[in-house]
Structure 1
């Protein structure tokens, strides 16, 4: 599919003049990292991620046609052929509430998102929107809040499109368009529409892969990776030192950028085989190498940043010590922050959980951590 497949030409705003829609959308954790992009939100390398379950964003999009009076509202409910308001509004109209509080500082990002996607969903300017969102995890602390947040908003918008469109929309097209739009808000958001393993970025070894949207890993996954666990150790629940957007920009003219992109694409080939053959030892090697490579890029950029905290390193060393003694398949990965994602197979759930409680949570901020596992993707909680 190409960009032209996502243009909307046949729609009628009178079919949905006022209402709301709610989506619960998970975050994701990349196993092979995406770091560096071209415009418009095209990845420099392919990535693959586990979709999470307990870490999610809950977003409600309330919508009302602009200048819609009570009389017009009643009339539009009874006359599907009448368009209640013209599509010539110059400005986007929206308010944002996060965790129950009005967040005007979020507006520039949403404004930019709307500007990027309006050519694909031209009804945006016809509505007044209220966006209400909350996370099940700390915002901007190294868990992919933009991934779950932007994907939830994209799903709400495509749900509205489905109500307005004169063309039947299949579930496959719905998911691809939601992923396509989400990508234009936050690259990793395109990997939060479905589960359990999602690939984003063209790659010769991944059938159907695309730079434009995420796709489900197309091959049979070995039983070793079913119900995989991710316990997230919250080392630092504060704001990240540097945003992901700035981090990606640091890859421009980075002295090791091209080598990094090649490394990531090579690791996609390797992890694709591992996910099919069940080699947990090689999985550990790839995932940890990817995590450290991501942080190495930040430490060698200009300007440079160290996103890990002392307790991040203590946790990593504890995991290495434990694995050396027990031969466990526990491993870690990191997003662009200090928090540690501890990954382990279902078969080791009891022993690794005991290790985490007894040895690792002491390094978390106020002993906070989140027990998560692979999830199955976003869920709609209300209908338009």
Structure 2
């Protein structure tokens, strides 16, 4: 499927007014992507767990413009986040709407009011752009479905993922679940650089209800945005080897997820997390997003795993927060570890208990 498949050519009468509300999750990459080309094309394949409790709820109200308003070709919308008008968020959303105009020209014909709220702190390393942009994408697709009721569920999800990607790369992995792959890979026949696809192979039962507790080490804005970090990969001395490594790890994790090889899973996932941050440390300009408490958490997890022969492990996104991953059969013991030893390293002792989820749902 190429980009032309997503161009809307239906000329049915547009509804005068419509409102849609969707809840879309964040996701946590197991094999990371770091580095992309325009327009939002990943330099390597990535794979993620879709989360359940970390989500964005977005409502978009569409009100049809008068004919004379449409002629100016402006994209008109107001944006409210957590109940407050957020004009500072508008430039990013405006850029997103401009990118998708070819595929969703009907947005020019509406005044849109977007209201969003998160179940987790914004800009805290829990991929708020992933859940936020995917939520807008599925709301737009609900309008398109009303315009063209013949859209299949498969096409709806593919185009929603395609649109979300143009707002935030990782957002394309938040439409479905529990495990999603983004980026063309020879071992995954249906994979694409244009949208995420569900993991097509059997998943061992141990990974079906996997737990993810996010330790909120730092709930503030990151000093360096992911966009800036991705761009620094263009001249990075280790970039090409990193892309090769990531694509090999995709091949490895396919077997791991099928066989339930949890020790290999731990090794691969932690290595991927540290490699992501190694790319940041070796960029020019270089930067560090992890904090001292991030390292204290990692060392505590390693000590606990060795002492208890546990299957606990960690991963990191582009930030200081730590995702503690563990099978459901260790939930009670790991939650005690978090309460007794790890929460003290979190900002105000805050953490979020989450688990693998199944993607976007309309409310």
TM-score, structure 1 as length reference: 0.93
In 2, Cα distance between the equivalents of 1:257 and 1:246? 15
In 2, Cα distance between the equivalents of 1:337 and 1:154? 25
- Paired residues for 1:286-365 under 5 Å: 286-365=268-347
In 2, Cα distance between the equivalents of 1:293 and 1:203? 20
Cα deviations across residues 203-237 of structure 1 (Å, max 9, x unaligned)? 01112110000000000100110100000000001
SS in 1 for 2:10: coil
In 2, Cα distance between the equivalents of 1:168 and 1:157? 16
Cα deviations across residues 83-112 of structure 1 (Å, max 9, x unaligned)? x77854421001111111111111111111
Q: Radius of gyration: which is bigger?
A: 1
Q: Which runs of 5+ in 2 are unaligned?
A: none
Query: Who is 1:71 aligned against?
Result: none
Once the 2 structures are TM-superposed, how far is the Cα of residue 195 of structure 1 from its aligned partner? 0.5
- Paired residues for 1:1-384 under 5 Å: 1-14=1-14, 16-67=15-66, 88-165=71-148, 168-381=150-363
Q: Tell me, yes or no, if the aligned pair for 1:87 and 1:123 is still in contact at 8 Å.
A: no
Once the 2 structures are TM-superposed, how far is the Cα of residue 11 of structure 1 from its aligned partner? 2.9
Once the 2 structures are TM-superposed, how far is the Cα of residue 238 of structure 1 from its aligned partner? 0.7
In 1, Cα distance between the equivalents of 2:215 and 2:38? 33
SS in 2 for 1:22: strand
In 1, Cα distance between the equivalents of 2:309 and 2:119? 33
In 2, Cα distance between the equivalents of 1:105 and 1:86? 24
Q: Which runs of 5+ in 1 are unaligned?
A: 68-83
In 2, Cα distance between the equivalents of 1:376 and 1:193? 8
Once the 2 structures are TM-superposed, how far is the Cα of residue 243 of structure 1 from its aligned partner? 1.0
Q: Tell me, yes or no, if the aligned pair for 2:204 and 2:257 is still in contact at 8 Å.
A: yes
In 1, Cα distance between the equivalents of 2:127 and 2:173? 11
TM-score, structure 2 as length reference: 0.98
Once the 2 structures are TM-superposed, how far is the Cα of residue 4 of structure 1 from its aligned partner? 1.0
Cα deviations across residues 141-180 of structure 1 (Å, max 9, x unaligned)? 1110000000000000011111112x60010110000000
In 2, Cα distance between the equivalents of 1:186 and 1:244? 10
Q: Tell me, yes or no, if the aligned pair for 1:13 and 1:123 is still in contact at 8 Å.
A: no
Q: Tell me, yes or no, if the aligned pair for 2:266 and 2:313 is still in contact at 8 Å.
A: yes
In 1, Cα distance between the equivalents of 2:340 and 2:69? 62
Moved over 2 A (4+): 11-14, 84-89
In 2, Cα distance between the equivalents of 1:202 and 1:41? 13
Q: Tell me, yes or no, if the aligned pair for 2:29 and 2:47 is still in contact at 8 Å.
A: yes
Q: Tell me, yes or no, if the aligned pair for 1:226 and 1:346 is still in contact at 8 Å.
A: no
